[in-house]
Amino acid sequence: MSETVVTIEKLVFGGSGLARTEQGVVFVSDVAPGETVAIKRCGKKGGVACGRPVEILKASPARRDPPCPLAGTCGGCDWLHIIYKEQLAIKKEIFLECMRRIGRIENLPAPETIASGEFGYRHRARMKIDVQGNAGFFARSTNRVVPVQNCPLLTGPLNTLLTSLSERNLVFPGQVKNLMLVSGDDGSVASHPVIDGHTSKSVTITAGARTFEVPANGFFQSNRPLLERLGSWARAYTGGGRCIDLYGGSGFFSVMLADQFRQGLLIESADINAAGARINFKRNRIEHFTAVKGTAEQLRELAGAEPIDCLIVDPPRSGLDGKVHTAIAALKPRTVLYVSCNPPTQARDAGFLMKNAGYTVQHAALFDLYPNTHHIESILLLTHPS
């Protein structure tokens, strides 16, 4: 197919650039806002044509040489070609557009933007080991493993392990093996499965005055430098009698905010995470919070009739389903702390709570937990007038 010259209007959620042509909108990978590029079309995504650049005819001032030799090959990063300050600005615009277009939220408070060091921040990763023993990440849009010995986003201990794995040449016949990794504060690494002589089952991680036991196959926040700020951000805005932590994981937000409340209940559907929350409550001497295994759809049943001062929700990418919407509207927590890795579903859910349950957004923040990628972590603090 012949090349097409386009101008990139903006970057959109998902990381691609949006260009308009006589044949309609095209999503273009590996570009920056304002650039003029020659592209080749390469299929469709969600019914929209996709393209990849074959020549940058007019580069953006925000473009840089990617600081990784595997950029464009490894599927782990997609914004390494954009200077970090511009990444933050783009993410803010994408977030605000989601709130306006999907949530119909026009008067959103100006979101606070919390930046991260852009390299060496990631202390959790899911590595791949192929049948030849290559350790790394999948190549973009494939199931082929790109060997990686040093990733600029990973902590030092994880990169040391990567080098060791490459030298050891682990082989899992007949399949690509997922290796879940997390590095601890003492430089140790936990993995699932455990690699004898190299890794343990869990590590210890601190955030401020709190400590956490983190198993490799449990859920925990991935950005090491921003842990304390992420967990304590809401301290200035919420507190009181009772807190419910829905989708509570291994208790990160409950532990970080426990001293703000007289009583707390964590609800988590995965056994390993609910058990981890109990361990983390115990190791931080938090006796007024309990953790139960349950689904988000059981919120009304598990919450009981007592008033809720704060409901914490940190759902998967799909956001809150209809039953959870209905439960929140009925329970009317005084505040809802909504943590999200997917602004479109967060905007949808916040819009519902504002329109149908009387909530208003009082505060918003963007935590850049994943520099050099398009991923966005955002927090909304919603309050109810009752």
Q: Which residues sit opposite 139 in a β-bridge?
A: 74
Structure tokens at 116: 């991260």
Whether 41 and 51 have beta carbons less than 8 Å apart is answered as: yes
Instruction: Determine which one of 3, 50, 97, 341 is catalytic.
Output: 341
* CA 383 to centroid of chain Cα atoms: 24
- The three-state secondary structure class of 114 is strand
**What values do phi and psi take at 383, rounded to 5?**
-125, 150
| Catalytic residue list contains 98 | no
Least Cα distance to 178 among 138, 221, 238, 223 occurs for: 138
What is the Rg, in whole angstroms, of the alpha carbon atoms belonging to the chain?
22
* CA 113 to centroid of chain Cα atoms: 15
What number of H helices and E strands is found in the chain?
Answer: 8, 21
Q: Which residues sit opposite 28 in a β-bridge?
A: 17, 51
CA within 13 Å, CB half, 323 = 7
Q: How far is CA 288 from CA 97, 209, 269, 294, in A?
A: 40, 18, 21, 19
Least Cα distance to 19 among 1, 39, 2 occurs for: 39
Tell me the pairing of strands 377-383 and 360-367. antiparallel
| Catalytic residue list contains 341 | yes
**Which residue type, as a one-letter code, is found at position 89?**
A
Whether 212 and 250 have beta carbons less than 8 Å apart is answered as: yes
The DSSP secondary-structure symbol of 235 reads G
Whether 71 and 77 have beta carbons less than 8 Å apart is answered as: yes
- Annotated active-site positions, please? 341, 377
